């Protein structure tokens, strides 16, 4: 018996939807492909924003806000970029509605001269501003960030992982030369690794994407890749060195120290609400989400066992005092976030709500606890012993002292568990394409867990790479990245048999 | 000689645009009617968000995120609501672009079955969710808030004050009855007053809008109104009691304690980036913006007098230590925000940049200050003595001790100055419409300052009110609100001569 009606083993995709729904994270909206983010989901996103925003600022980036609607002509400037996004663009064509034959319709007299695109990403409009703002080498590097909503019209959507509208952060920078731009690109990648591993407790592999998986218009794309509990990969963040492509298309030049006009080298990097999907599939269990304490909007939730009687007042006071005391303490570098749930509902129902949401510590406090100065609690990570819920009772003062340590240990345990799973499911020893075929089969319907393959290749390009991509596609596989940490020597290319030059990760992916 | 090329007295609208530009607040974007919000502008908005968000949460509202694109049919449900917004709606009609005859165009094969509207406000899509979420009286009140971008297609735009896209906060709540909903409506109004007066230092008058100025679909609309330095009014925030209009249109009902199905009473309330425009026109002077310390992203800016020589290292260290020490202190309820500007530019240019942005305290520190353990600073409020810049020198330790008090005094002084100006420019003694005509003339071209008129009226409705509105419109005037604080008795109605029932404020407005 678990808190969710479907388990991971029975049906992983169904289990995922159940967690999203039951943990109060989000729900489908009446707008096709878009979701409503609910309080626990928003609270998690706001924690993410706070943590990442502090790091982005500390490294000298300023926040800006650019228009969401971008003139169509801006996209026509960089050919690869528009090819990459044209098929999923939401287009604004009118600026007024009108009653026509009793029906509300776009007013034909209010058609825009030039259609506007809802930003799928902002390189084009920010590059245009760069070209106006950057005059001299003194203006470089120019480093900015934006928190915004973006729209990519997806035909098959899945909550958090792929929705028509999503929330994200996009960094955009301009530099004097390749070395400086590459340093920024790698800084962003490492910053992403640190937030995703240290705060979200999701282990990732940093690496470079192969040519055919690059961002449209980029010279080099780097990613962090995370393994979900079903063995699939989730691209959890990307950082792009854009070379001078956008600078050429948009005339982003600066006067260098010798007085010449030189093209800037630009970068861009982004992470989004999709990471919440990654957190669910990394840390969720059959009782719902286990929210890493550093990400939990509420780390300690107190459910008073109210009985609608006069004694309730005393119990409420005991809980309120406990919360006030806990909130003076610090854990994981921030003030603790404790909360009393006094909603008008059955205590047992409230407890299960918080289990499904994955509040790290859940205290159920009854009149006897209050009388004895005790706290009875469950740890969301370590909820059960066998099938049974495991609860702990300690003196109130001890609970206040121990709470930061409990949260910090839980944070580490969630990371260690995911790290061990990821490492034990990256397999070596694939020598030929047939080995991949044997291991993965042609789809992921078979019950056996499928992790990632770590293989050597000769890094083909152009048509040869396209052929590799097609062969992998026949197994529903993709190259995730070439990890930054590479071995000292290489065997033969798994695709061509010639001497390899690089190790890459191959997987099924979200 | 002032830091801006145009003064308030010479040309107030031009002066406003100059502050927006020169204080690094925002600039026009290539997307018609939309702006790019720049770092100082974004920093101010982020301060606003932090202050208001804390109050909204503390009062028990949760943050949500709803889709930006709303199906057109949702607007058709509430007739007044759609009438109010149909003329300014941006409409998404296609979801793909295609090369057609060599030109990138909306793909005719990717036309949406139902157009989507970019939210001008979210009552319709949130009301739809309310109808699904609310089942019983136990679910009430349901109180939520959203921070989001919204789009209203305006023909005449002005930076911050009226742009096609802007950032805002919208609160939406559902209640069991009118009394509870009205309590919420008035709570939001008072919360707005407190943020705008206590944090932004902008004095406002709280009151109820007349019938003809209500939000489309509201039973009662309340506003806070602020007087700008040119005497015009700015609506700085609104709170609406929506009655059961949206509940009827969207079937938002709950099972009451007796088992019956009862309509909810809903509210909504919003404030936006327009308030930044209000801050400029309240606190700006001919040297740029004076940012209230509680709103300043950087409260104390240190400009080291670097000379590109080896001694610079020591000076930089002195400044860095000073900032570190200041940032341990608190002012106005938050840790202080001090900053060293080490940008590669002339110190005098940097000083003027910070004067125009309105950093409250600007320190210029040279090698001699460092050697003597001194701090030389200017106060942005109290910048000049006559025409001359007034600077102060104190021992470093004293500066650290005095800084919080200096910031707090400045916050109070800015408010007191604006409050005195507002009060002295609200005039009584208008007995007839002709009095208004004499005072205001038919437009605001004449040089004389024009404030607000406080008059008595008989609160006409329907066609009679429409006539009043038209007469006022001929003088470019509007009724701002009927202040919550009313006198004990009333004279004759300024429009009809019959006994009045209410005091109202009349003004030209943004």
Q: According to the model, what pLDDT value does residue B81 have?
A: 80
The answer to whether A82 contacts chain B (CB < 8 Å) is yes
**pLDDT tens across A219-242, in order?**
999 999 999 999 999 999 999 999
> pLDDT tens, A264-291?
999 999 999 999 999 999 999 999 999 9
Contact B27, B35 (CB under 8 A): yes
Which of B:341-370 have CB within 8 Å of A? 344-345
Instruction: State how far the Cα of B508 lies from the Cα of B510, in Å rounded to an integer.
Output: 7
Q: Does position A449 have pLDDT exceeding 80, yes or no? A: no
Structure-model confidence comparison of residues B130 and A1, the more confident one? B130
Q: What is the pLDDT of residue B448?
A: 63
* pLDDT value at A34 more than 70: yes
**pLDDT tens-digit profile of B63-117?**
999 999 999 999 988 778 888 888 899 999 999 999 999 899 999 999 999 999 9
Q: Mean pLDDT throughout A349-377? A: 97
Cβ–Cβ gap A91/B106 under 8 Å:
yes
Do B36 and A64 lie within an 8 Å CB cutoff?
yes
Say which CATH superfamily domain A12-283 falls into: Bira Bifunctional Protein; Domain 2 (3.30.930.10)
DSSP-assigned letter for residue A127: H
Tell me which of A76-90, A97-111, A424-438 is least confident. Answer: A76-90
Partners of residue A142 in chain B, C-beta under 8 Å? none
**Distance set, CA A471 to CA A233, A437, A508, B441 (Å):** 18, 10, 13, 79
Distance from CA of A423 to the nearest CA of B (A): 36
The residue-averaged pLDDT of A179-206 equals 98
Find the angle CA(B426)-CA(B432)-CA(B437) to the nearest 5 degrees. Answer: 70
Question: 3-class SS at A6?
Answer: coil
Average pLDDT, chain B: 96
Classify domain A426-507 by CATH number.
3.30.110.30
Overall fold of domain B40-93+119-283: BirA Bifunctional Protein; domain 2 (3.30.930)
Q: For position A448, what pLDDT does the model report? A: 65
Q: What average pLDDT score do residues A159-188 get?
A: 98
Buried b (16+ CB within 10 A) or exposed e, B393-419: eeebeebbebbbebbeebbebbbebbb
- Orientation of helix B178-194 relative to helix B39-58, angle to 10°: 140
ipTM of the complex: 0.96
Could you tell me if residue A258 is left (phi over 0), alpha (psi between -120 and 50 degrees) or otherwise beta? alpha
Residue A211 tokens read as 């040519």
> Which of B38, B69, B164 is opposite residue A64, by nearest beta carbon?
B38
Q: How far is CA A459 from CA A212, A452, A479, A503, in A?
A: 11, 18, 11, 9
Q: Is B87 touching A (CB cutoff 8 A)?
A: yes
Q: pLDDT value at position A445?
A: 66
Structural domain boundaries of chain A?
12-283, 300-409, 426-507
Sequence-ordered strand ranges (E) for B152-293: 165-175, 205-208, 220-227, 233-241, 253-255, 261-263, 265-272
Q: What pLDDT shows up at residue B77? A: 84
- What pLDDT shows up at residue B447? 46
Query: Is the distance from CB of B234 to CB of B228 less than 8 angstroms?
Result: yes
pLDDT value at residue B444: 66
Q: What is the pLDDT of residues A380-421, one digit of tens each?
A: 999 999 989 999 999 999 999 999 999 999 999 999 999 999
Residue B334 vs residues A379, B331, B362, B423: alpha-carbon distances, Å: 34, 6, 19, 30
Span B163-173, mean pLDDT? 98
Q: State pTM to two decimals.
A: 0.97
Task: Determine the Cα–Cα distance for residues B412 and B198; give it in Å rounded to an integer.
Answer: 9
Q: Tell me: the pLDDT tens digits for A456-473? A: 999 999 999 999 999 999
Residue with tokens 């590479």: A486
Looking at residues B449-477, what average pLDDT do you find? 95
Report whether pLDDT(B156) > 80: yes
The mean pLDDT value for B481-510 works out to: 96
- In CATH, the architecture of A300-409 is 3-Layer(aba) Sandwich (3.40)
Chain A from 162 to 221: CB within 8 A of any B CB: 164-165, 167
CA-nearest residue of chain B to A103? B76
Secondary element (H or E) of residue A315:
helix A312-326
Query: Closest partner residue to B64 among A42, A86, A88, by Cβ?
Result: A42
Helix (H, G, I), strand (E, B) or coil at A384: strand
Helices B274-283 and B396-424, interaxial angle, to 10°? 100
Residue B154: per-residue pLDDT:
87
Sign of CA dihedral B399, B405, B408, B409: negative
Q: Do A65 and B37 touch (CB under 8 A)?
A: yes
Residue B478 CA to residue B495 CA, distance in Å, equals: 13
Instruction: Report whether B472 contacts B437 (CB < 8 A).
Output: no
Is the Cβ of B36 closer than 8 Å to some Cβ of chain A?
Answer: yes
Residue A367 CA to its chain's centroid (Å): 42
Contacts of B39 in chain A (CB under 8 A): 62-64, 144
Kindly indicate whether the domain formed by B300-414 is annotated with CATH number 3.90.580.10: no
Q: Shortest Cα distance from B411 to chain A (angstroms)?
A: 25
- A247 CA to centre of own chain: 29
pLDDT of residue B79: 78
Nearest to A91 among B38, B93, B151 (CB): B93
Q: Which residues of A touch B54 (CB under 8 A)?
A: none
Q: From the centroid of its chain, how far is CA A152?
A: 16
Mutate to test the interface with B, among A68, A70, A122, A327 (most CBs of B within 10 A): A68
Q: Of the ranges A151-165, A430-444, B268-282, B340-354, which one carries the lowest mean pLDDT score?
A: A430-444
What are the backbone angles phi and psi of residue B71, rounded to the nearest 5°? -55, 135
């Amino acid at each position: 018996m678990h808190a969710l009606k479907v388990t991971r083993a029975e049906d992983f995709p169904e289990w995922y939807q159940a967690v999203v729904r039951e943990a109060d994270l989000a729900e489908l909206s009446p707008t096709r492909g878009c979701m409503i983010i609910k309080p626990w989901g928003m609270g998690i996103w706001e924690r993410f924003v706070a943590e990442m925003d502090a790091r982005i600022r500390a490294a000298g980036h300023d926040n800006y806000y650019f228009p969401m609607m971008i003139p169509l002509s801006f996209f026509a400037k960089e050919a690869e970029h528009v090819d990459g996004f044209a098929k999923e663009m939401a287009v604004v064509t009118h600026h007024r509605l009108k009653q026509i034959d009793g029906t509300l319709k776009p007013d034909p007299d209010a058609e825009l001269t030039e259609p506007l695109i809802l930003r799928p990403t902002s390189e084009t409009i920010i590059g245009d501003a760069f070209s106006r703002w950057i005059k001299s080498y003194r203006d470089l590097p120019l480093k900015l960030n934006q928190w915004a909503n973006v729209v990519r019209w997806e035909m098959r959507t899945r909550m958090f992982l792929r929705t028509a509208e999503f929330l994200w952060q996009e960094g955009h920078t301009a530099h004097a030369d390749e070395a400086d731009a590459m340093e920024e690109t790698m800084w962003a990648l490492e910053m992403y690794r640190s937030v995703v591993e240290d705060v979200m407790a999701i282990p990732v592999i940093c690496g470079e994407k192969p040519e055919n998986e690059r961002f449209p218009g980029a010279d080099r794309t780097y990613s962090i890749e995370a393994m979900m509990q079903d063995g699939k990969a989730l691209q959890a963040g990307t950082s792009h060195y854009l070379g001078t492509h956008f600078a050429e298309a948009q005339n982003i030049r600066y006067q260098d120290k010798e007085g010449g006009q030189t093209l800037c080298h630009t970068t861009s990097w982004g992470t989004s609400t999709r990471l919440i999907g990654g957190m669910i599939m990394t840390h969720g269990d059959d009782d719902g989400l286990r929210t890493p304490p550093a990400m939990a909007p509420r780390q300690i939730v107190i459910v008073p066992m109210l009985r609608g009687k006069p004694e309730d007042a005393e119990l409420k006071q005991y809980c309120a005092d406990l919360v006030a005391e806990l909130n003076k303490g610090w854990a994981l570098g921030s003030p603790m976030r404790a909360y009393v749930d006094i909603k008008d509902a059955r205590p047992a129902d409230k407890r299960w709500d918080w289990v499904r949401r994955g509040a790290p510590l859940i205290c159920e406090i009854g009149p006897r606890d209050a009388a004895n100065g005790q706290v009875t609690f469950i740890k969301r990570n370590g909820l059960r012993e066998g099938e049974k819920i495991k609860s702990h009772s300690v003196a109130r003062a001890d609970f206040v002292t121990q709470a930061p340590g409990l949260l910090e240990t839980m944070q580490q345990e969630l990371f260690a568990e995911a790290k061990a799973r990821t490492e034990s499911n990256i397999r070596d020893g694939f020598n030929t394409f047939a080995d991949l075929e044997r291991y993965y089969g042609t789809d992921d319907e078979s019950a056996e867990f499928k992790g990632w393959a770590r293989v050597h290749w000769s890094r083909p390009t152009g048509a040869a790479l396209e052929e590799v991509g097609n062969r992998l596609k026949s197994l529903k596989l993709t190259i995730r990245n070439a990890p930054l940490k590479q071995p000292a020597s290489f065997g033969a290319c798994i695709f061509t048999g010639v001497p390899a030059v690089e190790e890459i990760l191959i997987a099924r992916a979200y």
